[in-house]
Amino acid sequence: MFASRGSLRSLAQSLPLAESLRQLGRDRAWINEKHLELCRIPAPTFLEEKRALWMVEQFTALGYHARLDRAGNVVAHLPGQDRSSFIAVTAHLDTVLAPRTREEIRLAPDGRFLGPGVADNGAGLAALLALARQYALSPPSSPSPRSPLFVANVGEEGEGNLSGMRFLCRQSSLAPQIAAFLVLDGPGVEHLTTQALGSRRFEVVFTGPGGHSWSDSANPNSIHALSRTIADFLDCHGRRASFLHSRYGRSTANFSLIDGGASINSIPVSARAKLDLRSESTEVLDELAELLTDCVERALVGENERSSLLKSSGRLAARIREIGARPGGQLPPDSPLLNVLRAVDQHLGIQSRLDCASTDANIPLSMGLDAVSLGAGGAGGGAHTDGEWYHPEGRETGLRRIFLALWLLLDPQ
């Protein structure tokens, strides 16, 4: 792939690419400013529009044709490149937690950015703007068969179910023109996510007659049934975990968002919980979904039998609803995209590892498209918590890595 263009080292030292790589380091103050500014715009899943419109303004100011698509994604390309074949560079707009005030996003004395979303995915979005800015300033001097498409997409976190990337890959008019995806998600340069971790998400709901905690104590209790379900499921999954891991790889189960009941002295009319299942194997996900159904049925029968023995005519009902599914997939080991990134990492002295994770790359990988998810440089931690942080030291290494890979992918000859 590189033979006709000389060595990668020679390419990286040539103008204007060498100047662009240096400029990404000089732009540190501008990038940090944009990073903090975008993170101060709340963008919880399903409510990304305000941040999306801000991103449209930024791309437009950089000289791009930028717009919102029907899913709410921001798509930007340079004028005249709408008929090109694209390399999509993407970063998700939404966050699990959102700042309640602008002051929640702040700068610590040690240089760290503090606040919800500063790493996941403030790092990716700031990188998207930095890369777009530098590409607009110095695009390749010779005509290229491909152009970059910069995308800030919705719906990656929580119950967004990768809606923005699903639209981009399956329904967007640009979908047939996208040759590969570079998905920027979070900080760091240590990993290349080439295997999509599949997941299935469920909501379990028990409903019943409720009643007074003393006078109606024989009535079935929806929270008791839900608690039995959770304990039974986790016990069964725990017993199977080592066997499943040896055959199919790792799998996890996480119950969350449990609620129900109205007061301490009343039997709850309803109770619900949400469950996130993840596995490296589609077969295991299907097996765990069946296990959930069995556990719900056992809890329902058990609580109704207890109530019947106490002469209550009340009965519980149960419902399981699938609220999300992320498909699995894997980038072939001989993929040109992976070869480019490995060559770039070797050139920059980055020791990265291939990993498996659940990201926006799940969708293109599940469709057999070339895609990889990677960090945008710097360091961070505490994602999805109130203690999230990001440090921009070393950010330029991540930016140079992505920019150099993009430059190579734009001309595959």
Cross-strand partners of 202:
275, 322
CA 137 from centre of chain: 29
| pLDDT of the residue at 5 | 43
State the residue for tokens 């409720």. 210
The pair of three-digit structure tokens given for residue 376, joined into one six-digit string: 């945008």
Residue ranges per domain, the chain?
3-196+328-410, 198-326
Q: Which residues of 188-197 are buried (b: 16+ CB within 10 A; e: fewer)?
A: bbebbbbbbb
CA 325/CA 331 separation, integer angstroms: 19
* Preceding omega of 16 cis (within 30 degrees of 0): yes
Contacts of range 5-14, beta carbons closer than 8 Å, 24 or more positions apart: 5/411, 5/413, 8/343, 8/344, 8/347, 8/408, 9/347, 11/407, 11/408, 12/347, 12/404
- Position 10 scores a pLDDT of 83
**CA 310 – CA 206 distance, rounded (Å):** 20
Residues 411, 413: Cα–Cα separation, whole Å: 6
What integer pLDDT is reported at residue 247 of this predicted model?
72
Reported as type and span, the H/E element at residue 195 is strand 191-196
Q: What is the pLDDT of residue 198?
A: 96
Contacts of 202 (CB under 8 A, 6+ apart): 274, 275, 277, 289, 292, 320, 321, 322, 323
CA–CA distance, 233 with 274 (Å, rounded to integer): 13
Q: Please give the angle made by the CA atoms of 146, 65 and 17, to the nearest 5 degrees.
A: 45
Joined together, the tokens standing for residue 236 give 């069964």
Could you tell me the two tokens for 73?
Answer: 């994604």
∠ CA 391-395-399, rounded to 5°: 150
Residue type, 366: S
Cβ neighbors of 64 (< 8 A, separation 6 or more) are 76, 77, 78, 79, 132, 136, 150
Distance CA 283, CA 7 (A): 44
Low-confidence ranges of the chain (pLDDT < 50): 1-6
CATH class of 3-196+328-410: alpha beta
56 close to 74: Cβ distance less than 8 angstroms: yes
Asked whether the beta carbons of 262 and 268 are under 8 A apart, the reply is: yes
Closest CA to 76 of 129, 145, 35: 129
* Spatial CA neighbour of 159 closest among 255, 319, 45, 277: 45
Sheet with strand 317-326: strands edge to edge: 251-260, 270-279, 198-207, 317-326
Closest CA to 271 of 237, 218, 317, 310: 317
CATH number of 198-326: 3.30.70.360
